[in-house]
Amino acid sequence: MTVNEQERDGVIVNEGKMIEALMQQDIRAFREEYLLIHPYDRAVFYEKVDAALRKIMYYFLSPKELAEIFETSEIDDSEYKEFLQEMDTTYAADMISYMFVDNAVDVLKELDKSQIASYLTLMDKEAAAQIKSLLHYEEYTAGSIMTTEYVSVPENSTVRSAMTILRNEAPSAETIYYVFVVSDDNKLTGVVSLRDLIIADEDALIGSIMNERVVSVIVSDDQEDVARTTQDYNLLAVPVVDFQQHMLGIITVDDVIDVLDEEASDDYSKLAAVANMDTFDKNSFSAAKKRIPWLIVLLVLGMLTANLIDMFTETISQVALLAAFIPLIAGTAGNSGTQALAVAVRGIATRDIEEESKFKLLLREAGTGIITGLICAIFVILLIFVWKHEFVIALLVGAAILVSIFVATISGSFIPLFMHKMKIDPAVASGPFITTLNDVISIIIYLGLATTFISSL
């Protein structure tokens, strides 16, 4: 049995044995098995068993050991509250104080103000102070995801003394692979990687081997920008500073991955018109709750479309075939609008769009709209002509498709860009609104043209 099977099919993570040990209150057998597996697998097990077994685990594990489990991303933010309530309050406070500060803050943010206060009171003073300093940063900013557990040294220290500092701080620092160099008043002046340190002469001064062009982010920066910067520069951690360049904390690459994942989920949810897919729903009601708001909004918007079509009842009664093409035209407009929207939203997210002028982008989208519109129109005209031999209707549908695609493509890219400029998340505009807008426009064009030329039909 290779080590690989461990994570592959859970063979080596012996769940049965651990559950049995818990049921039989066999602390030795449990700890022997449990502490050998990876913290991530420990978290998977912890989350999977029921509350009764978890309560036994709190007696079998130290707060520090449990903290390690809470550090993993396996446990969702929404579960923290429930789990903490299962524990003794002092035990929970101890556990939180052993976590890395950024994660401890994530846990506390899920609780009520009074609960936060009571945990902070029970906690080790130093840990409480560090947590308090981070609690007030606004959500989705660099400050809200940074940790203060980094290693810093003064410029005039030697490589040898820096290594000593590193060794001492290794157990508590979140990363020791970057050492940040600060001036007397705590301003960030450079960075040295552990890679550079171990190959440098032990007597060399840090100031002489450090990299002065250090990439940093501002504490109020948006977390997605921070994540993109870390990704672009291939960093394992990025320092966070205030506007005067004072060092405040660092953000490590594991948190960056989680941010990118969260933002991708978020954009994806919005395109699909689901409230929030960040946490996976365990029952029908919570799943329905996330979908109904959008469906209702879309129904109301759809009513507008219905109302609009209703105004053309007379035309439709005369040529009922016209009705057959309404979903086709509205659908095509919706699809091309969604395409343009998705390209713009994604371009904003990956910062590709920042690199060029908005005007050029819109011009390009207009061109794209004309090309796709023309090709689709010609295609549909031929299709209808061959299928129905209705030349006038074919032309009518073709014209409506051409104009609809053109308008949909431009609005699909203009609206998210405009929202981004207004500092609104462009993904909110998303499919639904664009689709309804394009439904309305395309139906007016189609049935308007049909009403005008009704005599030729």
Residues 121-150 that bind a second copy (CB under 8 A): none
215 binding a second copy? (CB under 8 A): yes
Cβ nearer to a second copy, comparing 135 with 236: 236
Q: How many residues does the chain have?
A: 457
Residues 6 or more apart whose CB falls under 8 angstroms from that of 171 comprise none
Among 10, 59, 352, 454, binds a second copy (CB under 8 A): 352
Q: Which two tokens stand for residue 139?
A: 């959500």
359 binding a second copy? (CB under 8 A): no
3-state secondary structure of 250: strand
332 binding a second copy? (CB under 8 A): yes
Q: Scanning the structure block, which residue is given the tokens 């897919």?
A: 277
DSSP 8-state assignment for residue 211: B
Phi and psi, residue 237, nearest 5° = -160, 145
Q: How far apart are CA 273 and CA 292, in angstroms?
A: 10
167 binding a second copy? (CB under 8 A): yes
Cβ nearer to a second copy, comparing 72 with 97: 72
State the minimum distance, in angstroms, from the CB of residue 118 to a second copy.
30
Of residues 445, 436, 364, the one with CA closest to residue 397: 445
Cβ nearer to a second copy, comparing 32 with 124: 32
Q: How far apart are CA 190 and CA 152, in angstroms?
A: 10
Of residues 297, 308, 285, 223, the one with CA closest to residue 260: 223
**Within 10 A of 18 (CB to CB), how many other CB atoms are there?**
22
Cβ nearer to a second copy, comparing 280 with 359: 280
**Within 10 A of 169 (CB to CB), how many other CB atoms are there?**
15
2 binding a second copy? (CB under 8 A): yes
State the minimum distance, in angstroms, from the CB of residue 341 to a second copy.
7
On the CB side of 374, how many CA atoms lie within 13 Å of its CA? 5
Instruction: Please choose, out of 30-38, 111-119, 138-146, 201-209, the segment that lies near a second copy by the rule CB under 8 A.
Output: 30-38
258 binding a second copy? (CB under 8 A): yes
State the minimum distance, in angstroms, from the CB of residue 117 to a second copy.
30
On the CB side of 66, how many CA atoms lie within 13 Å of its CA? 25
74 binding a second copy? (CB under 8 A): yes
State the minimum distance, in angstroms, from the CB of residue 132 to a second copy.
26
Q: Are 365 and 340 in contact (CB under 8 A)?
A: yes
Q: How far apart are CA 307 and CA 432, in angstroms?
A: 18
State the minimum distance, in angstroms, from the CB of residue 451 to a second copy.
13
Q: Scanning the structure block, which residue is given the tokens 């498709």?
A: 401
Among 22, 37, 105, 394, binds a second copy (CB under 8 A): 37
| Residues in 376-415 at the binding interface with a second copy, rule: CB under 8 A | 376, 379-380, 383, 387, 405
Instruction: Please choose, out of 22-30, 85-93, 147-155, 281-289, the segment that lies near a second copy by the rule CB under 8 A.
Output: 281-289
Cβ nearer to a second copy, comparing 120 with 381: 381
233 binding a second copy? (CB under 8 A): yes
Among 52, 296, 392, 428, binds a second copy (CB under 8 A): 296
Q: Are 336 and 412 in contact (CB under 8 A)?
A: yes
DSSP 8-state assignment for residue 138: P
For 181-192, letters b (16+ CB in 10 Å) and e give bbeeeeebbbbb
Q: Are 238 and 221 in contact (CB under 8 A)?
A: no
305 binding a second copy? (CB under 8 A): yes
State the minimum distance, in angstroms, from the CB of residue 155 to a second copy.
14
84 binding a second copy? (CB under 8 A): no
Binding characters for a second copy, 175-204, by CB under 8 A (x = yes): -xx----------x-----xx--xx-----
Instruction: Please choose, out of 118-126, 133-141, 201-209, 428-436, the segment that lies near a second copy by the rule CB under 8 A.
Output: 428-436
117 binding a second copy? (CB under 8 A): no
On the CB side of 402, how many CA atoms lie within 13 Å of its CA? 15
Among 129, 292, 392, 424, binds a second copy (CB under 8 A): 292
245 binding a second copy? (CB under 8 A): yes
